[in-house]
Structures are given as C-alpha cells and as structure tokens.
Amino acid sequence: MRLNVNPNRMELTRLKKRLATAIRGHKLLKDKQDELMRRFIKLIRHNDSLRKQVESELAVIYRMFVLSAAVVSMPFLEEALLIPKERITLEISKKNIMSVWVPVMRFARHSSHGESSENNLDTYNETRDADSKSNLFPYGFFNTSDETDRSILQLYKILPSLLELAEVEKTANLMADEIEKTRRRVNALEHMTIPQLEETITYIKMKLDENERGNLTRLMKIKEIIGKDA
C-alpha cells in the first residue's frame, strides 16, 4: 500500500531520504535485537543454574528447620527468632545494558554493635561456641538445637545468592520486554514502512517518466505543426 503523496521530484527526494534512514534504522535495530538475544540467552542460562542452586540450598535449610521444630517447640522457636541481631540495608542503583536500565543491588549488614560489612560474608564457625552466637544468632544456648544453628547459618550464607537471583530475574524480565519492543519495531520497518516507501518511490518515478514522455510527445507534435506551417 503506497503513501498518498503528490508525484513530484521534491517528494521523490524526500521519500528517498526517508527510505535510506529507514533501512539504516532497520539494520541498527536488527543488530540490537541480535545482541540483546545473545545476552538474554546467556542471562537465562545463568539464572537457571542459580535458581537450581538456591532452591536446592533452601530445601536443605527447610529440612533443618523442620528437624529443629521437632526438637524445640514452635512458639519458643518463633520467640527466639523474633528479634534479629543484625540489620540489613539494601541499595538499588541502575546500569545501562543496550539501552535497558537494569537494577544493581548492593546490601550491607549492620550488627548490633554498629559494625557493617557491605555485600560481603563474614566467616562463621558452625560450632556452637559463644563467639559465633554473639555475632549472628539472636538466642541463647540452653533451649536451642544444633539444627536451629545450622539452618540460621545456612540461611545467612545464602542471602547473597538470593539477592543475585532477584537481580538476575529482574534484569531478564526487563531485557525480554526490550527484545519484544525491538522486534515489533524491526517488523514494522521491514514489513510496513520500507515496502510502503519503496512502492511510493516506484509510483512517483513511473508518474514522472509518464509526464516526461507526455511532454516529449507534445514537443514533437508542436515541432511537426511548426514545420508544416513553415
């Protein structure tokens, strides 16, 4: 379907410029789409492996909590975990990936003594000594089990992986939306804009050639009439 324009040389020049811009834009968008797809596939593979790892570790932690609840009464366990010994703050910034602004998450742990560590894990001994408990566990020794300690410790260690998984999945969602938008633009240029411009340019050229042949025929006719009169 061609555009509704006046078939003149000025319009022909303008449409040729539009066509060149559309072809160049189509190539750039196609390259962007291919690069986004490459990064998206790589990100999805990383997300899949990370999710499997996190789900596996969470399953182990859940089993530890179940064993702990079998030894310690649930009301006491809930009371023991009610007040944490550390506070976590989360900072979210953004970075640009192929015109897609994706989140970058960084967290910091703040202990009850005011000490903080950013995006880092302290090494804790998994034994039930007093120093380890004073740094991490929010309860005393007497009425808790070893399974409770281990589950808290494993949950503490898995926190960076959980945060990374959230960041990767959000990035994948944003990149998927951008890929879909880019795909629609590429298809619109490839199947609508460029064919319309090419068809309209061809139509204008045909009309201009037809006008030139008409003018040439009229000039020849006038020359023939003038020759006869002379």
Q: Using one digit for the tens of pLDDT, what is the confidence trace for 51-89?
A: 999 999 999 888 888 887 777 777 767 766 676 667 778
Q: Using one digit for the tens of pLDDT, what is the confidence trace for 194-230?
A: 999 999 999 999 988 888 888 788 888 877 777 777 6
- Which strand (E) or helix (H) includes residue 87? strand 86-97
In a domain, 21, yes or no: yes
In a domain, 123, yes or no: yes
The domain spanning residue 59 has which CATH number? 1.10.287.3240
What pLDDT shows up at residue 188? 95
Domain range enclosing 17: 9-219
Number of independent structural domains in the chain: 1
What is the model's pTM? 0.73
For 152-179, give one letter per residue: b (16+ CB within 10 A) or e.
bbbbbebeeeebebebbeebbeebeebb
